[in-house]
Amino acid sequence: MPAKVVVLGAGYAGAGAIQQLEDELGNSAELTWVSDTDYHLVLHESHRCIRDPTVQENITIPVEEIKSPTTRFVEDEVVDVDVDDRTVELAGGDEIDYDYVLVALGSQTAYYGIDGMAENSLTLKSLDDALEIHERVKSAARDATRNDPAQVVVGGAGLSGIQSAGEIAEFRDEHQAPIDIYLVEALEEIFPGNDPEVQGALRKRLQEADIEILTDDPIVEAGEDAIYFDEGEPLEYDVFLWTGGITGRDALDGAELEKEHNRVNAEATFETSDERVFAIGDSAIIEQNDQPAPPTAQAAWQAAEVAGENVARAVEGRPLKTWTHKDKGTVISVGDEAVAHDVMMLPLNTFGSFPAETLKKAIAARWIADISSYGRALKAWSDL
């Protein structure tokens, strides 16, 4: 009997791993791909839909363009992984048996126990989230006036928070909308934990976009129309977006695997505490030499090829490869502008303007071309 190999999730890790598994296994295994959407979302560009929902056409790639015709695709939500029975339970009531499973379900937003945060904030983890933010910002602006502008607050000044604030500012400027934008960060500086040079470059562009930055004061409660700080005065809002961190998906709650914050612990081979379960991307905490691999799109892209190959090697009883994350640098957009930092093989440490903007487009376009086609990547270029 051919081995049953199942991949869970259609994010960067899942989409990349599917193609590698197809190359490695050919028709020697039964390959099943499960996702709650029938498309791959270029998630690191999803913030573009906050400004313009039509961008979705170019950052959603149908699974049929990604997978081989011989790969079975199931559109459903994963609710449990039973490692004893080797089954994946779906929300629709079906179960899928596996011999090997690759968990690439991504993550969900972490609220850190902050009172009212889950109930009162928007998040940005899906296309539907981005479209809802757009509608809420548009509605708030429509009801506002120059004397009483809409208050839009973005909590968390990491990658998602900065890029989301930049898109809201572009929406405001393009529509001449009466909106005040606040970017709130609990720590002392935006883009925490990164080089002060890139932090300063990002702060400059955010301020030029007329985004007010509030740092060094954590949110302790989120009410229906205001957020409350540890020390400062409450900040009223009409729209509140929270991008403060990630945790594992609820589907992994009952999985008997070693986990931290519901993210599966995995070796650099992507093996977990169960030899038939591999994990990758935001679903996993992947061991590296000194610290876990970052939960970024870049890391997931790099890991997908090796993870797919290793699952195939496990099926065939061959030794597994070890993956090492290589940081190739960071490129962040602030509306139509961008900042690049520590990019491999480039002489400048931090730069912006046209070179950074072009580089950011090129990164997204290359990914789209890799999993779909150069034609689709070219069509998407103007929206990236």
pLDDT tens-digit map of 292-305 = 999 999 999 999 99
pLDDT of 1 above 90: no
Q: Which residues contact 281 (CB under 8 A, 6 or more apart)?
A: 9, 11, 12, 13, 14, 104, 105, 106, 295, 299, 300, 303, 304
C-alpha 268/C-alpha 286 separation (Å) is 6
Q: What is the pLDDT of residue 380?
A: 94
Could you read off the pLDDT of 20-47 as tens digits, one per residue?
999 999 989 999 999 999 999 999 999 9
pLDDT of 347 above 90: no
pLDDT of 344 above 90: no
C-alpha 338/C-alpha 98 separation (Å) is 43
Give the type of residue at 61. I
Assess contact for 263 and 107: CB atoms under 8 A. Answer: yes
Kindly report which listed range (66-80, 214-228, 229-243, 338-352) carries the lowest average pLDDT score: 338-352
Could you read off the pLDDT of 63-93 as tens digits, one per residue?
999 999 999 999 999 999 999 999 999 999 9
Q: What is the pLDDT of residue 345?
A: 80
Q: What is the pLDDT of residue 298?
A: 93
Q: What is the pLDDT of residue 290?
A: 82
Q: What is the pLDDT of residue 368?
A: 96
**Domains plus CATH for the chain?**
3-109+246-316 (3.50.50.60), 117-242 (3.50.50.60), 330-383 (no CATH)
Given CA atoms 38, 43, 48, 51 in this order, what sign does their dihedral have? positive
Assess contact for 129 and 164: CB atoms under 8 A. Answer: no
Could you read off the pLDDT of 125-171 as tens digits, one per residue?
999 999 999 999 999 999 999 999 999 999 999 999 999 999 999 99
C-alpha 209/C-alpha 353 separation (Å) is 14
Supply the angle between the helices 12-25 and 353-371 in degrees, to the nearest 10. Answer: 40
Tell me the mean pLDDT in the region 331-356: 93
C-alpha 344/C-alpha 329 separation (Å) is 6
- Give the CA diameter of the chain: 71
Q: Which residues contact 382 (CB under 8 A, 6 or more apart)?
A: none
What pairs with residue 242 in β-bridges? Answer: 155
Q: How far is CA 277 from CA 14, 20, 158, 218, in A?
A: 14, 17, 31, 38
The rounded mean pLDDT for the chain is 96
Q: In what order do the strands lie in the sheet with 179-184?
A: 211-214, 179-184, 150-155, 239-242
